[in-house]
Chain A
Amino acid sequence: MTRASNKLSRRTVLRGFGTAVALPFLEASAQEPPRRRFLAYQTPNGVNLPNWNGAMDPMAQATVTNLAQSATLAPLLPVHGSYLTQVNGLSVHHVGNTGHHHAVSGWLTAATCMDGSLRLCINPPSQNDLTCAPAGISLDQLLASRLPRVTRFRSLELGPFFWVDLSDSVCGNMACPYLFNVSWINGSTPAGRDTDARRAFDRIFAGSSPLENTAARERRLRQRLRVADFVKDDVQRLTRRLGTEDRRRLDQYFSAIAALEDDLRQAPPAPVCATGAPVDAVGDVFGDPRAYLRAFRRIMVLALQCDLTRVITFMVSYSGSPGYSYAAAALPGNGPGPNGSWVYSNGQPSNILQSPHHEISHWTAPTGNDAPTLLEFQNTKRHALGVIDKFYATELSALLSDLRAIDDGAGNNLLDNTLVYYGADMSDPDLHSTLNLPLLLAGGTGVSLRGNRVLNFQDSAANLHIAIAQLFGVPLTTFGNDGTRPLPGVFS
């Protein structure tokens, strides 16, 4: 490789990618600074919108003009202000009314999930439209599939376990996976995710051990490829003996093994990286949310630090019923009642934070003689939601601190080169609104963010997705339901 080819621009590399690109070529591009990372972090069940962006009316544009006016985000300012850009007024536009399905799966796809069928479609889905199946890729998966393959994993997806009770293929009138998945390979295939922190750790950091040498690792790879190749042949032989319907199922398996084989071939070996002790088994988000969030935070930071991947998506928990209670997180009971309690039902003091998150997120007026006044009822719930929002913001703050503590070369820390895409699936959860989403970008100069800014738009989130894709060097011009151009003025 000559010196000149080392200077190829990222754009040139991308043009070449997808055809036949020789490995040394990619290695050369891998040396190009900066190493940008993308980390999406989705919280469930919307937010207290007035606390977030100052607008009481969920349909209205934000009224905050600087970060200090956001009650939710203000606590992060002293520490991380220079890394934060609050982006208000972006919406995911769906056809018709929206629910949790749309909110969760639309967050990174900006596409609409179809009723009762396993497809994310672009707008407007006509009733007989069967051609839209490829639509609905999420931004993280788009980056993972289009960026040059320089890390062990194209992407990592992390989040809560697949809730047994909702594993039916139909949740209400829509397929469950739309309620469960942020990351989509296409409109009918969720990317899946690691749900158990301990196992995720073992899987992700396997092969990073300093105890294993390069030769052994390469030999191991050759062995796995040999087996995968054999199995593909096995599947094809059986396929010939089956009827059409069974054959289709086996074809899925063949594709899965073929994809795995490609992955093994393309995946660079895991870099040697000291990972420290494995994470403890932390149970799930329904147990102690803090331990759960802490464990996954460590995995995310370590995976970026070790450069095992450049794209991570973390779904904190399920949106919708019943949601989990935050009582276990020992949130402060700073309600308006005696001793910080929450006057909620029947005039009985009780800590509303013990209610499931989803229940808190709805405040449609109750009726009845002894119901609290409408305002009291709404305010109590909104207040509680704000407490939960701050709990998440604290978690985010810890994540940002961890990223900043890591040297990423050339005088940058890891956060300088990471774009954190943070926010809730919905704005006003009571309306299931995906308009004016609460979104926060965190990152530094490596991802062209200036920090200490509030940007107010009236635009589609899909256009922010396009801007992000272009920042990462993916020449995207349309995305999701209505993305047609990069959102201007976010990255400088």
Chain B
Amino acid sequence: MKNCVLRCLWSSSPIKAAGLGEARHRLSLAQRRRYHLPMRGVSIGVCCFCACTGSIVIPERPPSPPPDSVCPANPSIGRTALHRLSNSEYDNSVEALLNDMSGPSQAFPPDVTASGFDHITDVQSVSPLHGVRYEEAAQTLAHSLWGREFDTGFTHRFEAEQNEPDGGVDAVHALVVSDLVSNGARTFYNGYHIYVLTAFDVAGDYEVGFEAWSNTFPDGGEPLSDGGFRQTLWRLQLDNQVFFSTPTMGTVASHATHRAALHVEVPGIHRIDLSAADPHDRDNCGPDGGPADCEARDPELGQVDALWVSRQATRVPEGQQRLRICELTEGDTCVRSTLALLTRRAFRRPPASDELDRLMALFAAARTDGDSLEEAFGQAVAAILLSPHFLFLVQTDPAPSGSVAHPLTSHELAARLSFFLTQGPPDDALAARADDGSLLETSVLAAETDRLLASATHPRMLTNLSTQFMGTRDLVAAKPSAQLFPNFSPELKTAMATEAQLLFEFIFSQPRPMVELADAPYTFLNDRLAAHYQLPLPGSDQPVKVSLPNDERGGLLGLGSTLTITSTPTRPSQVKRGVWILGRLLCDEPPPPPPNVPPLVEDQSGADGLTAHTANPACTRCHKVIDPIGLALDHYDADGSRRIADRQGKPVSAKGTMPDGTEVVDLAGIRTLVKQDKRFEACLSEHLFTYALARTPAGDDPCIAAALAASTGEKGKATFHDVVRALVQSEAFRWRQPE
């Protein structure tokens, strides 16, 4: 029998251990949740749950408010701390504002996750690195939006007689040395070429041109031995690749300006060659060499006066066009009104007049300092992107010292609503409802809520919510052992994540009752995942909705994703699964085990190894609930596949006995238990509350959240949309409690 030794990866100082129990007991529910977060697949954290052989008695945690209970007459509406835009909210904001989809937040410090989400204000901070990266992003965005315009393009002209490097890169070099410079032009014989090494500052379109005389061959000249006529073929090359060629053949001496379009993929220094050749070279005096007297026998083909490389001014980016209500060159009035528009969108409210005054002063100072119109304007744009009014969802109190709760302003409410339902700033329609104040009316708020739920930007919020709630972000880091699970592949992982997200999004937006998450008799499979589940193949690479033929799958506890993230790389973890269900689905996560306990050997098949938990009274209190829940899912391996025996061939019972003696058997048993648990619906409601208000529920919050689901009618029938609507109308959402 192979055993898996689980160790705590850290252990605590004995100094800290004493008295910890008491300290924990004093923590409020909110604090507790804040410091002991849901176990988002944190393998090293969960292993400590098994390491429970210490002697410190875990105190009973304060009971969660039963969802049936009536909230206090005047529940405290709680308070969300100043909300910094999360990284994804930042990206969505600059997309809405500037049409920039580059995702600048990839360079920001990562957001910290709490209560299952990455925008929870309680744990947000602003580090020095945030300052550095925000500034870089603001300057880059401002530059790409406005700064480019001061770049009016360029023309680098190289005179042909300038045949010495002048110390820089913009020098003309004569590859074939010729001192025949007459009248400021260079004479070309067959196969001669000149080249320049010059800088192409951005990827994009350029023009390369040259002025040349092609020599005269009256009447086309006499036919050559091969029947053709003498001509001059001018060719341009970029790094030895021909991108332009033109034959000149005339009856009179011709002076012409030739222009060639050139697209440069990679900015930097490139080489441009200009050459002349006679394709009917009689004497084999081609570029590869020929008889020594070629030059003497070969007439000149032409003369080059100058070569140039130019780039047009960069096209106005679309993001700028959307803000272009007038020409900045018209003067300060236009500058001010453009800034007003930009500020209106960035700050999610109309700017105060003194705010515009200050931006104008910044603009003027830059102009005085010699900056161009566009550079100066770009600085104002950067200042807006670095403003706390952009980076934070600012809410203020009428009197900073007041303590009486008050409604949010229409603009604050619009921002909160929009970031909740679209993960981005208000669109124009919502902004208009905020401007005229009508959003404060219940009916308008309801209508806007419904409109946003159906809007084009809502799906990104849904994806954000589902990847976090369903734990598929954790799946990224899950690493089932390649030895034990050779079939596990990145494709399978993707299919699992997609399945979980689609299930959640389907139930959310159909909308179906929330609690259907526990036992939906359908799921979303492609062939790869169906094969993994040993279900009939739907015949598609893409996930399709399928009805499930039996009880072996269905609901979020039957998802490969859920089962994998609640496993160690080598085996399923009953403890992780139990804790996940209690914490994530019932919002009743048990506290971590006492610190400083020696490691416990957990048996692979589960039940035996867990006996230590029940043998030790200190562990029993939590593990008598955790373990049977986890054991019921024992028919699912660490890669989410179904199993009936463990790795040693020992049959797995998948049976747990709850403290009250109830037997929970297999997936069907546990999901019924979850679905019927009163805490489940209330907990889903609480997650939505947490997400919407960006705070860890504290004080009366859990009670308010539970009441939201209950208020929508029959128990177990509330949909996510119902809860969204009730939540948005609640005082907790619409009002603000000063400190």
Binding site for B on A (CB under 8 A): 95-102, 114-116, 124-125, 127, 162-174, 185, 189-192, 196, 199, 203, 210-211, 219, 222-224, 226-228, 230-231, 233-235, 238, 241-246, 249-250, 252-253, 255-257, 259-260, 263, 320-322, 325, 327, 345-346, 350-351, 354-356, 359, 362, 364, 366-371, 432
Contacts and interface: CB of A to CB of B under 8 A. Distances in A.
B130 A227 contact: no
Interface string B112-126: 111000100001111
A-B interface, 9 closest residue pairs, ranked by CB to CB distance from nearest = A99-B10, A256-B131, A96-B13, A165-B477, A192-B129, A243-B739, A246-B82, A368-B1, A252-B126
B16 A230 contact: no
Contacts of B201: 211
13 contacts: A96-B15, A99-B11, A174-B12, A226-B362, A228-B135, A231-B386, A252-B125, A256-B127, A257-B386, A320-B44, A364-B599, A367-B601, A369-B1
Given A163-B477, A224-B135, A321-B44, A172 B114 contact: no
Contacts of A162: 109-110
B739 A127 contact: no
A241 B400 CA distance: 6
A172 B130 contact: no
B131 A257 contact: yes
Contact of A192 (B19, B109, B375, B391): B109
Contacts of B9: 99-100, 172, 320-321, 432
A224 B385 CA distance: 13
Nearest to B604: A368
Nearest to B359: A230
B474 A102 contact: no
B192 interface: no
B400 A243 contact: yes
Contacts of B109: 162, 192
B48 interface: yes
Interface stretch (B222-230, B317-325, B479-487): B479-487
B15 A355 contact: no
A164 B473 contact: yes
Interface string B364-404: 01100111000100110011001111011010110010000
Given A99-B9, A224-B139, A230-B383, 5 more contacts: A95-B13, A166-B477, A253-B130, A354-B481, A368-B3
B14 interface: yes
Interface in B121-155: 123-132, 134-136, 138-139
B569 A246 contact: no
Given A168-B113, A356-B479, A322 B125 contact: no
Interface in B261-307: none
B15 A127 contact: yes
B358 interface: yes
For B128, B130, B369, the residue with the greatest tally of chain A CB atoms inside 10 Å of its CB is: B128
Given A256-B126, A368-B2, A165 B82 contact: no
Contacts of A351: 483
B338 interface: no
Interface residues of B, number: 96
A369 B595 CA distance: 31
Contacts of B389: 234, 238
Given A167-B111, A167-B112, A322 B48 contact: no
Contacts of B328: none
A96 B392 contact: no
Most B CB contacts (10 A, CB to CB) among A222, A321, A371 go to A321
B82 to A, nearest CB: 4
Contacts of B473: 164-165
Contacts of B40: 165, 168
Contact of B3 (A231, A321, A367): A367
A167 B110 CA distance: 8
Contacts of B47: 321
B16 A127 contact: yes
B125 to A, nearest CB: 6
Given A95-B13, A100-B10, A249-B126, A223 B42 contact: no
A227 B366 CA distance: 10
Contacts of A257: 131, 135, 386
A370 B82 contact: no
A227 B595 contact: no
A219 B379 CA distance: 12
Nearest to B14: A96
A210 B40 CA distance: 48
A173 B477 contact: no
A135 to B, nearest CB: 16
Nearest to A102: B10
A321 B570 CA distance: 13
A360 to B, nearest CB: 12
B128 A255 contact: yes
B476 interface: yes
A350 B477 contact: no
Contact of B127 (A166, A192, A203, A242): A192
Nearest to A367: B3
A245 to B, nearest CB: 5
A222 B369 contact: yes
B622 to A, nearest CB: 15
A367 B2 CA distance: 7
A100 B84 CA distance: 31
A356 B128 contact: no
A169 B113 contact: yes
A236 to B, nearest CB: 10
Contact of B41 (A102, A165, A242): A165
B545 interface: no
A243 B738 contact: yes
Contact of B11 (A96, A203, A255): A96
